[in-house]
Amino acid sequence: MKLSRGRHIFIIIILILLADQILKFWIKTNMALGEEFRILGDWFIIHFVENNGMAFGFEFAGEYGKMFLSIFRIIAVTAIGWYLAIQVKKDHPFGFLVSVALIFTGALGNIIDSVFYGMIFDHSYGQVATFLPEGGGYGTFLHGKVVDMFYFPIITGTYPDWFPFWGGQELIFFRPVFNIADSSITIGIFAILLFYRHQFDHPTEPSTTDGEVIIGEHINEDGLEKEE
């Protein structure tokens, strides 16, 4: 049975979301905060960190800032999901729909952390977190921390003393630690910017895929062409 484009998109969303959450669950239940192990030498490391803020470990100020960010994420992912549900019925390139789905899935993956992880895990400071601890989690609803683990310090060294602002300081590229959800968002955004910007220029017609045929107004109820 041939799957529709909508079902293909749904499968992509589920697979990425599962990969993101399974890896985060494994990290939380097998590593203490700050622990790491090397995958490929010194430039691909699994390094467990948590953050209260946005993608790639950037922070957002205070507890109220955290709550605001969680609520904003929920609103944003709802809007993206609504947009995707409408666009999948139109005649967009499949790659464009996949790109939007990547953004949606990445946002949803990090929302799950922010909304629920504080209630279902205890803290990871100096210990491996427990799933569903008896005494409750480390936070409340909307106050969970996002789990990050991918670290690529490909270039390390020291900035020259003459370098503006960072002269003499440690140089690490790529410094931010991120997760599958962050990668999904980034890939989706760059794909749209590079290949699919024109999809926002003109409205598209409903798709005629999956054997559906749109009947024009020049066909009458008996299937015969109307005379002009």
**Active-site residue, selected from the candidate residues 42, 182, 201, 210:** 182
Residue 94 CA to residue 200 CA, distance in Å, equals 15
Answer yes or no: 201 catalytic.
no
What is the CA 40 to chain-centroid distance, rounded? 24
| Catalytic position from the list 148, 161, 201, 222 | 148
Closest CA to 122 of 32, 221, 227: 32
Distance of CA 140 to CAs 77, 88, 113, 129, Å? Answer: 21, 36, 12, 16
**182 is an active site residue:** yes
Q: What is the 3-state secondary structure (H, E, C) of the chain?
A: CCCCHHHHHHHHHHHHHHHHHHHHHHHHHHCECCCEEEEECCCEEEEEEEECCCHHHCCCCHHHHHHHHHHHHHHHHHHHHHHHHHHCCECCCHHHHHHHHHHHHHHHHHHHHHHHHHHHECCCCCCECCECCCCCCCCCCCCCCEEEEEECCCEEEECCCCCCCCCCCEEEECCCCECHHHHHHHHHHHHHHHHCHHHHCCCCCECCCCCCCCCCCCECCCCCECCC
| Catalytic residue ranges | 148, 182
